[in-house]
Chains A and B, each alone.
Chain A
């Protein structure tokens, strides 16, 4: 699976959009971009994933550049409860076997009043 690079930390004011970048310049054609987050040492939680089109769900939006070498996770109206470590993970599409995830150190997002 391709390696990802994320900034170690970011701040965001409550109510504003939080934009978390991720570089994955070695991503291959069949690899998806997944985002998970981990709130205060709880187990990680799935947020969203995408292949090449932009994706949106009830939690966030995912914008993937046309060359697929980078992506941005957008939390449109950040709240204090969004304070967490956010992990960007690249992995192959469904392979018929276990989906092993490779976690880096992620981005620690601090949402402030």
Chain B
């Protein structure tokens, strides 16, 4: 299994441009998450999904959109990039059940710079 994969690894955007960060998992996990991490800080939850067709806002959703059309994919869309969105973005997935340890598996991250 590849686990959680993210593309691209790096991207530089100009202010006002749009882009989609891709995230795919091959572990058949029902839950998926997007986090952002600013320098020297912990991760903050942007959006999450409990299954195909179902998404919900996290702590810092403004400026982002998500969709979940399949179990495997959970893309994050930035419509009008702003310098405040310069960050490292991590996608994660998990399979939650009472008998499992509810571990989140993280991708390698996408480093985004908005100039």
B interface residue count range (under 10 / 10 to 19 / 20 to 34 / 35 or more): 20 to 34
B42 near A105 with CB under 8 A, answer yes
Q: How far is the CA of A45 from the CA of B106 in the complex (A)?
A: 7
A98 to B103, CA, bound (A): 11
* Bound form: Cα–Cα A104–B103 in Å: 18
Task: Identify whether the interface residues of A are mostly helix, strand, loop, or mixed.
Answer: loop
Q: A32 CA to B88 CA in the complex, in Å?
A: 27
Interface string of B31-50 (1 = CB under 8 A from A): 10101000011111100111
- Collect the chain B residues with CB atoms within 8 Å of residue A44's CB: 43, 90, 92, 104, 106
Tell me, rounded to whole Å, the shortest Cβ–Cβ distance linking B59 to chain A. Answer: 8
- Using A41-B88, A97-B96, A99-B94 as known contacts, say yes or no to A105 and B102 having CB atoms under 8 A apart: no
Q: Sorted from nearest, which 10 A-B pairs have the closest CB atoms?
A: A43-B106, A103-B42, A46-B103, A103-B43, A98-B31, A94-B98, A99-B102, A98-B48, A104-B42, A43-B90
